[in-house]
Structure 1
């Protein structure tokens, strides 16, 4: 084997290993956190329902308020407790938790800050298998223009959180819509024009795919398992159509499938699609020429693979919707926001295919044995990670 081929093989193996190392079940989408905020009008004043990662809230609030008891009890409940005990810890330390949140999440109206009041006890929910605390706040605001919302929640002193997205949905003063906030764009006015926020949703979609290791590995399995440009284009198109349908339906609230079901199936899809390529290698069914007439036809196995990819794409769409976490009444603004988010996903997907598939096709054409070895090892690594994630996600539900 030539030095160039060895270098290519080593690079690909290291890439798969690096992706696998960042892909634990609770952190399958990278070292970022997402806060979900729903703002509605209740009795003439804004009410926000905030969902925050439980462990981050405990660590950050305990550190900010110098509450050692919250840290001890909260981390113990996170590791060994159930949702009821976790919520009870935050209720017992409500002053620290609410104080931390309201200093980093705020509403202003007419240039003056609104005053927050806790409404009800803390409850728990789950997002992509991760425990989230649900905190409801009522706000008293001065009269003025549409409220301005600001969020700088996380990171604080957490060494493993690089950035936080705050996904906002709102229906206040006859205005409704959605927005995405981060460190670079921490605030927005609820009466801001809808088109001013579309760039944020495009970037959010692109970043979600880039940091979503499980989705990237699924795409990698599609790429290494495709023998011709036609195969990879059809596979990517099938995946795109499928996940776009379920993403829009789920994000609009028309389809609701629990994350406890979606996440293990996503992990299983990675293993199945990668394993499909290994099966074809074992049958020596991958030797159809990369260029030539056969390039324009698919056999029965090829069409079956497309059907499998389409079915798994439907499940990945539910995962994309769960990550975005929008829960709002249907509107044209919401629909366009979702479409732009999806366009961000597709842009990154096309870029990854455009960068990686031509290199693999050239390797297969010039050094068929090396191409089989490289794609086989990549598929094996991806399949193993998919199986590990599947087992972990099933046992954690």
Structure 2
């Protein structure tokens, strides 16, 4: 390729990268864009009553309920409380407009028994908490069911795309009902759940939830791209990806079963920092101006695993542990440990890994082909990728530390 044409191509690549990562960095600090997660804990008793404790993103609940129920008072009272991070005022705004909250939620979170709808009412006061770095309101609903039944159907269409505030809302459901207990994931494609759900259906939900979580988690994808860009041989990216998998699997299961915990205010900034660290690692290796193998972050030795290689894997392992805490936080299951829960967590993790391997299978051969055809252009492309990834990670780190 002529030098002039190569220069033009590199300039275009840099321009595209700057625009793309500028858009990424200007997005909300949340790793998952304009999405929301509802956390629901549902339990029943022999009297026919079903209690549902819903954790709802506060700001989203205020604007959605106020708009849907034409209650400007809730918006005027709730938004200042949110802006000042006053939890007592936030809870008070929802309690003062409990009819609005009930009217909104009752149409979008339903419980059916023997084919009949159960009638909800708000039970107790509103509590505030932090989840995923955002304020959440815990509202408890008591559903009176007219007909006793050995099976219930729970539906959730909370915060749908049609309302225009978020997209891809998921409801993570933990239940202890009809002598059954477990977890389920509801979204626009599968908005309802029956306590008579089969094992296969349950596991498919968690596989899909895991795969979608990685696909919509741009920070995890960028971390993986940084690993791919810094690996010359397939075995190197396999070593790095396997190390990352082992690490995040350990903390994911431990955190999801409540054996370890860490606040999202700590986990999320470290995840963002890990993205920058892995990308900068590759750039520094290039900058050192060593031999070609060293510049491509290829450690010397028959297996490519001398001290620099082991150090890289160690760094990936440590960051993988932190990413596992992030995966568990997103899942948000709150149920006692059981073999069924463990299998659900493993299936969720398999969904993550399938997407991860698919990204490697797609991106690595393209970079390998580019390296074979034009080694210098390969260097430029990977530098652009690593630079963009490092900038995005650094911006997210600052945003998450400052709570923006």
Pick the TM interval, shorter chain: over 0.9
RMSD: 2.4
**Structure 2 match to 1:269:** 274
Partners in 1 of 2:238 and 2:377 — Cα distance? 23
| Counterpart contact for 1:230–1:295, Cα < 8 Å | no
Unpaired segments of 5 or more residues in structure 2? none
How far did residue 362 of structure 1 move? 2.3
SS class of match (1:32): coil
The 1:243–1:279 alpha-carbon spacing in structure 2 relative to 1, beyond 3 Å, is same
TM-score (norm 1): 0.93
How far did residue 259 of structure 1 move? 0.7
How far did residue 284 of structure 1 move? 2.5
How far did residue 17 of structure 1 move? 4.3
**Structure 2 match to 1:368:** 375
The 1:242–1:125 alpha-carbon spacing in structure 2 relative to 1, beyond 3 Å, is same
Matched, 1:149 2:154: yes
Partners in 2 of 1:206 and 1:152 — Cα distance? 21
SS class of match (1:201): helix
Partners in 2 of 1:205 and 1:10 — Cα distance? 35
Matched, 1:75 2:79: yes
How far did residue 366 of structure 1 move? 2.8
* Match of residue 111, structure 1, among 115, 120, 127: 115
SS class of match (1:139): strand
Partners in 1 of 2:93 and 2:192 — Cα distance? 30
How far did residue 223 of structure 1 move? 0.9
Q: Select between 207-216 and 76-85 the one with higher mean Cα deviation.
A: 76-85
Matched, 1:189 2:189: no
Residue correspondence of structure 1 range 20-59 to structure 2 within 5 A: 21-22=23-24, 24-41=27-44, 44=47, 45-59=49-63
Residues 81-111 of structure 1, C-alpha deviations (whole Å, 9 max, x = no match):
3222222211111110121011110101111
Residue correspondence of structure 1 range 78-227 to structure 2 within 5 A: 78-141=82-145, 142-155=147-160, 157-227=162-232
Residues 109-164 of structure 1, C-alpha deviations (whole Å, 9 max, x = no match):
11111121212111112222122111111121221122110111112554342221
Partners in 2 of 1:186 and 1:58 — Cα distance? 22
How far did residue 26 of structure 1 move? 4.1
Q: Select between 20-29 and 64-73 the one with higher mean Cα deviation.
A: 20-29
How far did residue 28 of structure 1 move? 1.7
Partners in 1 of 2:36 and 2:21 — Cα distance? 18
| Counterpart contact for 2:10–2:380, Cα < 8 Å | no
How far did residue 208 of structure 1 move? 0.8
| Counterpart contact for 2:226–2:279, Cα < 8 Å | yes
The 1:286–1:370 alpha-carbon spacing in structure 2 relative to 1, beyond 3 Å, is farther
How far did residue 42 of structure 1 move? 5.5
Partners in 1 of 2:251 and 2:62 — Cα distance? 34
The 1:382–1:147 alpha-carbon spacing in structure 2 relative to 1, beyond 3 Å, is same
Unpaired segments of 5 or more residues in structure 1? none
* Match of residue 340, structure 1, among 342, 347, 364: 347
| Counterpart contact for 1:252–1:329, Cα < 8 Å | yes
Count of aligned pairs:
397
**Structure 2 match to 1:313:** 320
Partners in 1 of 2:203 and 2:251 — Cα distance? 21
The 1:26–1:43 alpha-carbon spacing in structure 2 relative to 1, beyond 3 Å, is farther
Residues 20-75 of structure 1, C-alpha deviations (whole Å, 9 max, x = no match):
52454543212222111111236753211111111221111001110011122222
